[in-house]
Amino acid sequence: MALGLHSSRRNFLVGAGGFAGAAAAARLMPGAAFAAEAGGAYCPPPSAWSDLAKAVKGGVLRPEDPFFADVCRPNNLRYGATLPAGIARCASPADVQACIQWVKQQAMPFAVRSGGHSYAGFSTTPGLLIDMTRMTGAKPLPGKDGLVEVQGGTLNSAVYKQMERLGRTITHGRCDTVGAAGFLLGGGIGFNMRKYGMASDLLHATELVTADGSHVKVDAGTDSALYWACRGGGGGNFGINTSFTLETRPAEAVTVFNLTWSKDLPKVLKLLLTELATAPDDFGSKINVTIPSRQEQCDKAPVRVSILGQLHKSKVTLKEIFKSTWEWIDWSKSELLEDVPYWAAQDFLVETTFPYYYQEKSSYMKAADIGDEAIAAMFDWAAKMPATSMPVAFKFFQVGGAINRVGPAETAYVHRGYDWLFTVEANWWRPTDSALLIEQALEWQQRFYDDVNRRTKATGAFQNFPDPALADWQRAYYGENLAKLAEVKKAVDPTMLFTFAQAIRPA
């Protein structure tokens, strides 16, 4: 799924609008045709798999087939041990409908995936993996100037190519292997969001297969409640989205930068977080405070502060935007490219990820609430990090601008009125890092997160960065919109066919 600004490694979220599904609902269905073996394997009879293969024109893979392991491997290897009983490679909405009918008949749990970037492993399952990556592509809609239709299994890379051909852009991310569906359904962040709004704010319509097997199209005039829910309600809650109609904007030249500071880091970070909050909407950025890996620390590598971003044509210069921190930039470790054609500039910003082990925690901050004590605490916690074999970072994605000109209840994406989306990560590698070290790193992450949230009055959490350890995730992700989302869930999926550990429940 795809498009969003993200950390120094991956990006946004699972694709194809789906996560794990059907386990709870399946147990309530009569006539289950499988027996669960020891270890949680699901075993429909061979004839059932043959029926599915006939119905799904894109093909079905079983564990003994070539490339099975490659297709089912998630980006977060923390969940890589969960292997599906089969993979349905959907090439059309009819294939998706066939899968929904089949999992209901077989009482089979399932998950939906395109990019496989679910931070919490919600695109893995021991049942049927519904793979959307054969439903790919983006095309302009004839007679509808500026509108583009993106297929439900499309990855960022395909969206980038089509947008470049059209000379257009949207709010999109940096990671080229993320799926568009999960990204859009959870809100979608990127360097354009302060200028154009969240990616979901640009969604004009979407098609999806619902729990009853129907293939429907929703927009502001047709099933407006479901359309509202698809603009930030999170992937996997309401159906399997098979296409998205997006409003695009002209792709114009931008200035891009990756700037680093080497001295007085607490002072620099405080100034960046307060002074950049007043930047024009044309400015988009992400601040990284990177903590070195174990080996890097042995080599005396320091904690470093950097900022990555872009500036559309503006009456205000970068020097004026950065104010007092501009003179302190370490230009020997920085890059700045001015007035670059838009999509060439995105090559500078792009990120190609690789699978590894991680957990991310997020919250939303206002610049006025970030004081000197909070900044000092962040660096104190950074010094206490139990170093793993991978570097980690705490980050600040700059929100505000056009995002805050939309009311919290106008779309399902509720997080309006903030200046920064804060995240802190834990990264590791197996077998290099021991189970005890990983446990210590996760405990450090939780304590860092809790302390910084308390000191900055940070609230909420980003639903596209799902956190399996988040206690009150319902309110954190959806806030005041939770009740309406639960009503939509009741209307389209009352038995919770689409379910996973952090699924919205019917009212």
Beta strands in 28-106 (DSSP E): 35-36, 42-43, 60-61, 86-89
Could you tell me which of 98, 108, 125 has the C-alpha nearest to residue 35? 108
Question: Per-residue pLDDT averaged across 248-259, rounded?
Answer: 98
Residue 163 has pLDDT above 80, yes or no: yes
Among 1-5, 224-228, 358-362, 408-412, the least confident range: 1-5
Distant-in-sequence, close-in-space partners of 31: CB < 8 Å, separation ≥ 6:
105, 107
Local structure of residue 458 (DSSP, 8 states): -
For the stretch 49-99, pLDDT in tens is: 999 999 999 999 999 999 999 999 999 999 999 999 999 999 999 999 999
Question: Per-residue pLDDT averaged across 453-475, rounded?
Answer: 97
Please report, in angstroms and rounded to a whole number, the separation of the first and last CA atoms in the chain.
28
**Cβ–Cβ < 8 Å for 472, 502:** no
Q: Quick one: what percent of the chain has pLDDT higher than 90?
A: 90
- Which CATH fold topology does 254-456 show? Vanillyl-alcohol Oxidase; Chain A, domain 3 (3.40.462)
**Cβ–Cβ < 8 Å for 61, 84:** no
Among 14-23, 138-147, 179-188, 205-214, the least confident range: 14-23
Give me the chain's average pLDDT, please.
92
**Cβ–Cβ < 8 Å for 397, 423:** yes
Local structure of residue 292 (DSSP, 8 states): P
**Cβ–Cβ < 8 Å for 426, 441:** yes
For the stretch 216-240, pLDDT in tens is: 999 999 999 999 999 999 999 999 9
Q: Using CB atoms within 10 A of its CB, is residue 46 exposed (0-12), middle (13-18) or buried (19+)?
A: exposed
For the stretch 175-201, pLDDT in tens is: 989 999 999 999 999 999 999 999 999
φ, ψ (nearest 5 deg) of residue 33: -105, 15
For residues 299 and 293, what is the distance between their CA atoms, to the nearest angstrom? 10
Q: Using CB atoms within 10 A of its CB, is residue 35 exposed (0-12), middle (13-18) or buried (19+)?
A: exposed
Q: Determine the pLDDT at residue 19.
A: 42
Instruction: Pull the structure tokens for residue 269.
Output: 């970070």
In sequence order, the β-bridge partners of residue 36 are 42
Residue-range domain boundaries for the chain = 254-456
Could you tell me which of 10, 199, 21, 218 has the C-alpha nearest to residue 100? 21
For residues 292 and 137, what is the distance between their CA atoms, to the nearest angstrom? 39
Residue 169 has pLDDT above 90, yes or no: yes
Q: Determine the pLDDT at residue 145.
A: 85
Instruction: Pull the structure tokens for residue 456.
Output: 């900055």
* R_g of the chain, CA atoms, integer Å: 22
For residues 87 and 503, what is the distance between their CA atoms, to the nearest angstrom? 22
Q: Determine the pLDDT at residue 143.
A: 86
In sequence order, the β-bridge partners of residue 255 are 311
Q: Determine the pLDDT at residue 357.
A: 98
3-class DSSP assignment, residue 368: helix
In sequence order, the β-bridge partners of residue 250 are 168
Q: Quick one: what percent of the chain has pLDDT higher than 70?
A: 92
Q: Determine the pLDDT at residue 42.
A: 74
Amino acid at 264: D
Could you tell me which of 307, 59, 352 has the C-alpha nearest to residue 177? 352
Q: Determine the pLDDT at residue 41.
A: 61
In sequence order, the β-bridge partners of residue 113 are 131
Counting Cα atoms < 13 Å in the Cβ hemisphere of 436 gives 0
Give the DSSP letter string of 45-66: -HHHHHHHHHH-TT-EE-TTST
The pLDDT confidence band at residue 386, using thresholds 50, 70 and 90, is very high
For the stretch 18-36, pLDDT in tens is: 444 544 434 333 333 333 4
